[in-house]
Amino acid sequence: MPLIDPVVLVHGGAGDIPAERVEGKLVGVKRAVRIGYEKLSTTGCVLDAVEEAVRSMELDPFFNAGYGSVLTTEMEVEMEASIMNGATLQAGCCSLVKDIMHPVSLARRVMKTPHNFLAGNGVMQFAKEEGFDILSPPGQLVTDYAREALEEWKEGQRRGEIEFARTEIGSSNKYNKAEVGTVGAVAIDANGNIAVATSTGGITGKLPGRVGDTPLVGAGTYADNRVGGVSTTGHGETIMKYCLAHDILKRIDFLGENAQVATENACKEMTEKLTGTAGAITIDSHGQVGVSFTSQRMAWAYTKGSTVAYGIEQNQHLEEALQI
């Protein structure tokens, strides 16, 4: 089998992203993809690459993951993440994670257990046993922006207006701080090994205990060396009903669509059928890239060779030299 050009591809969440957040998100995804690519070049491990790329976005308040996560109706951060190895189909998933800076690393640690998924009190106990730093006092991940978003969402509720954070149907809602979204990364090495990781704080105004698509294998994350890898973002309730990540890979596998066409068609058909919008990033087994979204905006970036490609608007494709 001929060697493949290694690729690292990331997204920073799809949704009604306000104009004032665009530049910060572009800076963040370009930083993440460089970090992931450097890690892949150094260790040769695609799991390391996607974990590090996502960790960088979990530290960035411009993203809805880790520090920057949105709030539940009870003013708390409840996060979830997943990671998957395309060589073995081994997965690690976690949900209802609190006061941990890097849920993606906790998800990867779950891969050590006999299980795929840990949540709630169980995953928090596991995190303590594994030596994760539990932030104390609680609430250190709550940002001023997240507080403002929840207050705007609550004001919309009081006025009886659209439940933007729970429906994420279009781009006309005035409560623009209530953006949904996720962060994710997909990587392939020269030998065709693929890994995917996804992390999120969920949706503004979610009920405590809500679980979205991000930690669900086949919905938010999927990796299979035979076909490719996908990370999704957008309205979780819609994505999980459509099994968006799995649908994209099955289009590649059974319909012979390339990564870009499969990603476009799956996102479009999902939105046509179920209304909710979303986006996805894909790398197929040949190292070809797919990026598409039906939301207003989605920040994305990938590096292949000496170039970083990136964008956030529909049909936008910018490039600059890779600097590591």
pLDDT tens series, the chain, 324 aa: 678 999 999 999 999 899 999 999 999 999 999 999 999 999 999 999 999 999 999 999 999 999 999 999 999 999 999 999 999 999 999 999 999 999 999 999 999 999 999 999 999 999 999 999 999 999 999 999 999 999 988 888 888 754 444 433 333 344 445 556 799 999 999 999 999 999 999 999 999 999 999 999 999 999 999 999 999 999 999 999 999 999 999 999 999 999 999 999 999 999 999 999 999 999 999 999 999 999 999 999 999 888 999 999 999 999 998 876
Is 182 known to be catalytic? yes
Determine contact, residues 202/179, Cβ cutoff 8 Å. no
Q: Phi, psi (5° rounding) for residue 51?
A: -65, -45
Please say whether the beta carbons of 108 and 215 come within 8 A: no
**Rounded to an integer, what distance in angstroms lies between the CA atom of residue 300 and that of residue 173?**
23
Q: What is residue 161's predicted lDDT score, i.e. its pLDDT? A: 59
CA nearest neighbour of 239 among 211, 201, 258: 211
Q: Domain 7-321 is classified in which CATH homologous superfamily?
A: (Glycosyl)asparaginase (3.60.20.30)
Query: Of 214, 195, 194, whose CA–CA distance to 65 is shortest?
Result: 214
Show the DSSP H helices in the chain as ranges. 22-43, 46-58, 103-110, 120-129, 144-158, 164-167, 236-242, 244-250, 259-274
Distance set, CA 307 to CA 8, 33, 53, 304, 320 (Å) = 11, 11, 17, 6, 6
Whether 236 has a binding-site annotation, put simply, is: yes
Taking alpha carbons only, the member of 45, 48, 117, 37 closest to residue 81 is 117
Closest CA to 9 of 255, 197, 272: 197
Provide the residue ranges of all domains of the chain, joining segments of one domain with +.
7-321
Residue 161 structure tokens: 């207006």
Question: What is the pTM assigned to this prediction?
Answer: 0.94
234 labelled binding-site residue: yes
- To the question of whether residue 212 is assigned a binding role by annotation, the answer is yes
Q: Do the annotations mark residue 73 as ligand-binding?
A: no
What pLDDT is recorded for position 324? 66
Instruction: Establish whether 233 is an annotated binding residue.
Output: yes
Contact by Cβ (8 Å): 193, 285: no
Q: 182, 204, 232, 238: which is the annotated catalytic residue?
A: 182
- Joined tokens for residue 96: 């209802």
- The 8-class DSSP code of residue 207 comes to P
